[in-house]
Each structure stands twice: as structure tokens, then as C-alpha cells.
Chains A and B, each alone.
Chain A
Amino acid sequence: MTRFITSSFAHLILLIGILVMVVPVWMIFASSTHSSSMINMNGLQMLLGDSFYENYLRVLLYQGGFFKEITALKMFFNSFIMATGVAILSVVTSLMAAYALVYYRIKHATLLFWIIFITILVPLELRIFPTYSVMAELNLVNSYFGLIVPISASAIATLFFRQFYKTVPDELLESAKLDGANTWRFFVDFLIPLSKTMIVAMLIFMFVFGYNQYLWPLLVTTSEQYWTVVMGLKMMSGSIVHRFAFVMMSMVPPILIIILLQKHFIKGVFQDK
């Protein structure tokens, strides 16, 4: 009997938690399928309306009027380029740097370690204007390169890969050496396949991180052609239901990735077996 009560209690708490998470998003979604006049008269809605296609297609495709030079579709394209670029660039560079730190007998190893890892303490928000002026000097404002690279200047993934490499048994390198593998072959043929879970987890993490950037794209893109979805929230105009639709669509890619790949993500980050 107590067992039944505690378990019902647990389900109840979890249910409340889920409602707190789901209801706000559901209400914005339901409201995004109504007409503007409906929302203006009756407020947010709990039930679906019948303007789903009309509202979403308009937000995605219509150029001019709604957005001056750019469609939401182009913003999604930009966000996708930015997020993918951040994920690949930061994961590849981190994978390599961590390899050098763990598998080489480097002079000044401690110094190099600190040069790389102290950067975790200085997020982009703390150096945003100087980073902008560096980008301006290098003529990289309004470019995908400008959106991607400063966000990829992160050693977080390096920290994770370094921790992971340290758990790889020494015998692996010994036997690889016996097989005559050089440093490059060992890295590509042995270590990378072994780190697959961790690599996927870091790719997901950095993709979401890149996609969700707000302040940096706001600063580094003066041309509408490079606007991303998340910063577009601030820029968009239009009627209330179109805003709802835009908000809903903006959260779909990262949520989808987290839900579909949650097993890999959690496995990698927590090194679950």
C-alpha cells in the first residue's frame, strides 16, 4: 500500500513537471493555428484552429512586406549552416588538440594545457565588442565564416575528449605501435572509431549551442541575408499569429535533434556504457 502511494506520488509530480513544460509551448502552438482577430479578441488558445497551413506557409515563404529582404526559410538555411559549421569545426579541432595533449610527450605541456583550457572561463559575451572589431578588421562581418568561427573558439569539447582519451587503455597504443601504425594512422584508425559516441554527443551539443546563439549573430550581421532564426525573433514584424508560428518553428530543429538523438547525447556526455 505504501509502495502504491509513493509510486502514485512520483507519477503525479512527474506529470505536473511535464505539464509545466508542455502547456506553455502547446498554447503558443494552438494559438498559432488561429486567425489574428481570434487571438486579439480571445487571447491565447488551448484548442487548435484551422489556419495552420495558411499561417505557417506565409511565415516560411513570403518575401517582402513581412520580412523586407529575407524569408524565414532563408533564416533557417543560415541557422543550419551556422550550427553545422560550429559543430564540425569545434569538434574536429578539439578532437585533434586533445589528441596532441594526451598522446604526445610535449614540452611545456602544462602551459599549453592552461592556454587552451583557461578560455572556458571567458565566454564570448565577455569579449563581444573586441571580437567584433577583430572581425571587422579581418573583413569577416556579414559572412558565414564570421558567424561560425568565433563561436567555435571553445575548448569545452577538448576537455571532454581529453577526459575520454585518458580512460583509453595504454595497451591500445602499444599494440597499434606493434602493428606499425604512425601517429596519424593511430588517430584515424584506432582512436576516432573508439570515440564515436563522444563525437556524436559533442556534435549534438555544439549544434544546439550554435543554433541557439542570439547576441553574436545580432552584432555580426548587418545584412539581412545572414540573419539567423533565433536573432530573427527580435527582428520580425507581422501579425501576432505569424509571430507565434515563427516562434514554434524556431524551436523545432534543436528539440528534434535532442529528442531523436537523446540516447547518444546522454551516453556520450555521461559516458554511460
Chain B
Amino acid sequence: MKKVQFKSSYSQYLFLAPQLGILLIFLYWPIIQTFRDAFTMQDAFGFGATFVWFDNFLFIFDDPAYFIAFKFTIIYSFVITLITGSIGLLLAVQANNVMHGKSTYKTLLIWPYAIAPAVVGVMANYFFSERFGLLYHLFHELWGFNWYESVFDSYIYVIIAGSWKQISANFIFFLAGLQAIQKSVIEASMIDCKNSFRRFWTITFPLLMPTTFFLIIINITYAFFDTFGIIDTTTIGAPSGETRTLVYKAYMDGFRGLDLGSAGAQSIMMMLIVLVITIFQFRYIEGKIHYN
């Protein structure tokens, strides 16, 4: 904290009020309602709600579809993190190595970051449609690809659609991380270690750890939440619910099924997952890596 500050006075509340007001009305109020929904059950005509303790939670644990969505979300975030992280890192290392055209490469690689997931999904649709989708036909020739029926193939579809634009985000952050490493460290390591491959893994990569862990969190959050637009414009959960993320399932149960109790319980489960990931990051990872 600052050593020099203004004394506490009414004016501090004027500065805080706009954001706090918006957060209280449009964030805390809905969150309280989420908890209320999760612990109550609406009667069939929507006139009232009864308090049902953990019944909504027990229902979702009994629902095989919930575990299918859970499994898919975990696999999806893991694979997306792995693919976009490694390709992003590979591109960033190469862009950092070249002498000429560094900024041109940068410009040509960062723009997909700006495209909305829903737009990416619609585009992916054209490449995976049975009628004229190039990738559909290529994969179909190779191993009989058919995402309408095969779970594995539908995974491939949404993983490609979901990874494409996220490579850019990983590229930007890794490149910034690489450029922040001091030249003298790299030059010293060049004298000690002639093998550039080994040099990368023993010197450069450990120095990139803060960036890597930051990106892991960013990618997991992306796969959990931002991919809604991708799922909704590509498989819509095809073949039969195997490519629904937890967010997508909660939305469908709440919107199509009008089951707000279940949607609320599912939201709270996701809040818990996010909380666990965050605590894990702060407690475990932040303590183990060295900045600078």
C-alpha cells in the first residue's frame, strides 16, 4: 500500500459508489438469487417455491447427463489448454527468434484473438458440414469421420473450433513473456550451453513459468465459459449431449427445461470448481514459482 494517502473522507465513497453499486445490483443480487434457486424447488405452475435443502444438488448428482457434461468439460479444458499453449509457445519462440519481420508476424498472428467465439463456431460449421465441409471430407476419407454419430469425432470438431482463436491469446502472452526476459540472462546461458533445445527447457522455459500458469488459468476459464458460443453454433451437444460443457448444460436445463433449481445448483457447483482452481493457483503454484 501507498505510504502517502488521502485521509478517509466521504469523497472516497463517491469514487467507490459507481462500481460498488453496479456490482451489488447486477452481480451480488443475482448471486443471492442463484443460491435461493439452488435450495428451492418451483412448483409446477411457478406460483411459489419450497425450500428443499440439497435436493437439487442430489438430483444433478443422480443425473448421468451431468457427469457426461462434467467429463467433457474437464477433457475439453485440458486439451484446449495443452494444444493452444504448446502451439502458442512454439509460435512465440519462433517469432522471438527471427531477426526480420517480427512485428509483421505479430500482427498476422494476433487478430484471431478479437473474433467472437460464436463467430468462430459459425465458421467452423462451414468446414465441418457434411455438404461441403473441407475438413469433414478430408477426415472422412482418412478414418470415416462423422461427428453426427461418433463421440470421438465430435470431440475433434469442437476441439479444433475451440482452439483456433485461443492460439492467438497464448501467442501474445508468451511473446510478451519472452521479451521480458533479460538479454543478459539469455546471453550468459548461450555461453554455458551450446544446445539451443536444452537451453530453452533449462533456462528460458522456467523463466516463463509465471506466464505459463497465468495462461493455464486463462485457457481453463475460456474452455469453461467462453466456449458456449462455439458449442451453440457447432455441435449443439451432438451426438447426444456428449459435447455439452457444464455451462451449456446449465443453460439448457434452465432455459429449455425451465428448471431454475437445477440450473442454480449447477451454477453453484461451477462456482466451487472455479474457487478450487483459484485457491490451487494462489496457494500451490504461486508459492512455487519464482518471478524475475
Given A92-B18, A104-B6, A170-B3: A153 and B108 interface contact (C-beta under 8 Å): no
Contact between chains at A96 and B20 (CB < 8 Å): no
Q: Which of A16-24, A56-64, A66-74 contacts B (4 or more CB under 8 A)?
A: A16-24
Given A7-B99, A255-B114: A262 and B107 interface contact (C-beta under 8 Å): yes
Residues of A near B16 (CB, < 8 A) are 96-97, 100-101, 112
A204 nearest CB across to chain B (Å)? 9
Interchain CA distance A2-B118 in the complex, whole Å: 44
Residues of A near B119 (CB, < 8 A) are 212, 230, 233, 247, 250-251
B1-50 at interface with A (beta carbon < 8 Å): 1-9, 11-13, 15-16, 18-20, 22-23, 25-27, 29-34, 37
Residues of A near B3 (CB, < 8 A) are 170
Given A104-B12, A105-B5, A149-B26: A258 and B228 interface contact (C-beta under 8 Å): no
Q: Is A152 interfacial (CB-CB < 8 Å)?
A: yes
Contact between chains at B109 and A17 (CB < 8 Å): yes
Q: Is A126 interfacial (CB-CB < 8 Å)?
A: yes
Contact between chains at A13 and B11 (CB < 8 Å): no
Q: Is A28 interfacial (CB-CB < 8 Å)?
A: yes
Given A14-B94, A106-B8: A130 and B118 interface contact (C-beta under 8 Å): no
Q: Is A84 interfacial (CB-CB < 8 Å)?
A: no
- The DSSP consensus for interface residues of chain A is helix
Interchain CA distance A155-B12 in the complex, whole Å: 17
Q: Is A44 interfacial (CB-CB < 8 Å)?
A: yes
Contact between chains at B23 and A155 (CB < 8 Å): yes
Contact between chains at A43 and B134 (CB < 8 Å): yes
Partner of A128, one of B107, B123, B251: B251
Contact between chains at B20 and A259 (CB < 8 Å): no
Residues of A near B98 (CB, < 8 A) are 7, 10-11, 14
Residues of A near B78 (CB, < 8 A) are none
Q: Is B79 interfacial (CB-CB < 8 Å)?
A: no
Shortest Cβ distance from B94 into A: residue? A10
A57 nearest CB across to chain B (Å)? 21
Q: Is A116 interfacial (CB-CB < 8 Å)?
A: yes
Interface size on A, residues (CB 8 A): 93
Q: Is B260 interfacial (CB-CB < 8 Å)?
A: yes
- The DSSP consensus for interface residues of chain B is helix
Contact between chains at A119 and B23 (CB < 8 Å): yes
Q: Is B74 interfacial (CB-CB < 8 Å)?
A: no
Contact between chains at B31 and A230 (CB < 8 Å): no
Contact between chains at B233 and A234 (CB < 8 Å): yes
B101-127 at interface with A (beta carbon < 8 Å): 101, 105-119, 122-123, 126-127
A-B complex: 5 closest residue pairs judged by Cβ atoms: A130-B33, A212-B116, A43-B132, A130-B30, A100-B15
Q: List 15 A-B contacts (CB under 8 A).
A: A14-B95, A18-B105, A43-B132, A101-B16, A106-B12, A116-B20, A121-B274, A129-B37, A134-B25, A166-B1, A173-B5, A214-B117, A233-B233, A251-B115, A255-B115
> Besides A7-B98, A127-B267, 20 other CB < 8 A contacts?
A17-B87, A24-B123, A44-B132, A104-B5, A107-B8, A121-B278, A122-B271, A125-B251, A127-B27, A129-B37, A153-B23, A173-B5, A212-B116, A234-B118, A243-B122, A251-B116, A254-B114, A254-B115, A255-B111, A258-B111
| A contact set with B: CB distance below 8 Å | 6-7, 9-11, 13-14, 17-18, 20-22, 24-25, 27-28, 31, 39-40, 43-44, 89, 92-94, 96-97, 99-107, 109, 112, 115-116, 119, 121-123, 125-131, 133-134, 149-150, 152-153, 155, 158, 166, 170, 173-174, 177, 183-184, 187, 208, 211-215, 219, 230-231, 233-234, 243-244, 247, 250-251, 254-255, 257-259, 262, 266, 269-270, 272
